[in-house]
Amino acid sequence: MKIINCEVWPVTLTLEEPFTIAYSTMETAINYFIRIDTDAGISGFGCSAFDEEVTGENEHTVDRALRDVAVPMLLGEDPLSYGALLERLHRQLPDQPTAMASVDMALFDIVGKKAGMPLYQLLGGARSSILSSITIGIQPVDDVVKKATQWVGRGYKALKIKGGVSVEDDMEKLLKVREVVGSDIHLYFDANQGYSREEALQCIQVLHRVRASFIEQPCDKRNLQLLDTLRRDSNNKVPVMADEAVLGPEDVLKVIAAGGADLFNIKLAKTGGIWRAMKLDAVASAYGARTMVGCMDEAGLGIAAGLHVALSCPNVRFADLDGHVEFIDDPSYHAVRIVDGYVYPNDAPGLGFSF
């Protein structure tokens, strides 16, 4: 089998309402889609959802990486040799994981379609669905409580609250949300690097009171030691998750060397796709830490790729696969199904979606 053609195109996706986290507010997101055609009549699809704060990429770098580096390298190659291809691509794009991720997804899509199997089954099939959180951005306290009530009313059983701007507001939100949604709803919290050490410790006390599952990247991603310091200074009351501090499997080793973390957030746009995401999960598992598969603000196709990783790896404990839910014009919105907060793949070969 040979790759005979590649097509790359950007799509601007529009959110139902502006979404705010500790370091940005957005109303739209640009995703880059790629189609890889083979001489066997099989086509694979992938997409890139960049976040410049996290990986340093932007619309222009992703465009150049795909058109000028990835596509010329892929033409004429055998997509079933995806491991060797992705290693070569990683050497050529060491600082472009988001661009690489779209190529990775498309290659794995071809492999699954060639095998005639949904990708998660081909990769291990640990489960057939997974509970996902739905994320609530930074808003006034009353609006967050209202949004939480709405999502629970729509069947979601896990809420991820964004914070990191005002620890006082964040603590009030957490207490009020827990009061309103009851004890059976899972609460996750993400500060997106917004806190000082002292603020993080304050918030952890409240997170412990509301029985939150974890706190995600509370402080500056460059201070790796602080992840472990917060665990020790809080007497391990709430698990601490590394997110922006960890892009690929190499970064897990750096966090471990600095003292470690309880959990690691895997996002395909950070790792460079499925191939390296599974390596990251393996390193975390060997260390004894569980993982979460998360996402950027990305189309349903990207969510599907993350879902197949989450379903195939038994070490994955949590999922935050909601990046497409509030887009109003996503051409791949139905690449996954969400029922009562659980995310299901389309039971078709590969990633389960084709244009």
Q: With contact defined as beta carbons under 8 Å apart, do 147 and 139 qualify?
A: yes
- Rounded-to-integer distance, Cα 231 and Cα 219, Å: 13
Phi, psi (deg, nearest 5) at residue 104: -55, -50
> In sequence order, what DSSP letters do the residues of 82-130 get, joined into one string?
HHHHHHHHHHH-TT-HHHHHHHHHHHHHHHHHHHTSBHHHHHT---S-E
The pLDDT, as a whole number, for residue 266 is 98
CATH level 2 (architecture), domain 120-345: Alpha-Beta Barrel (3.20)
- Say whether 38 sits in a helix, a strand or coil: strand
Place of tokens 């909601």: 322
Q: Where in the chain is the domain with CATH 3.20.20.120?
A: 120-345
- pLDDT by 10s per residue, the chain, length 355: 999 999 999 999 999 988 889 788 889 999 999 999 999 999 999 999 999 999 999 999 999 999 999 999 999 999 999 999 999 999 999 999 999 999 999 999 999 999 999 999 999 999 999 999 999 999 999 999 999 999 999 999 999 999 999 999 999 999 999 999 999 999 999 999 999 999 999 999 999 999 999 999 999 999 999 999 999 999 999 999 999 999 999 999 999 999 999 999 999 999 999 999 999 999 999 999 999 999 999 999 999 999 999 999 999 999 999 999 999 999 999 999 999 999 999 989 999 999 9
Place of tokens 């996290």: 54
H-only helix segments in the chain = 52-55, 59-64, 71-74, 82-92, 97-115, 119-123, 141-153, 167-181, 197-209, 225-233, 249-257, 268-271, 274-287, 300-312
Amino acid at 17: E
The DSSP secondary-structure symbol of 349 reads: S
The pLDDT, as a whole number, for residue 267 is 98
- Rounded-to-integer distance, Cα 97 and Cα 46, Å: 13
The pLDDT, as a whole number, for residue 304 is 98
* CATH homologous superfamily, domain 3-116: Enolase-like, N-terminal domain (3.30.390.10)
Q: Where in the chain is the domain with CATH 3.30.390.10?
A: 3-116
The pLDDT, as a whole number, for residue 62 is 97
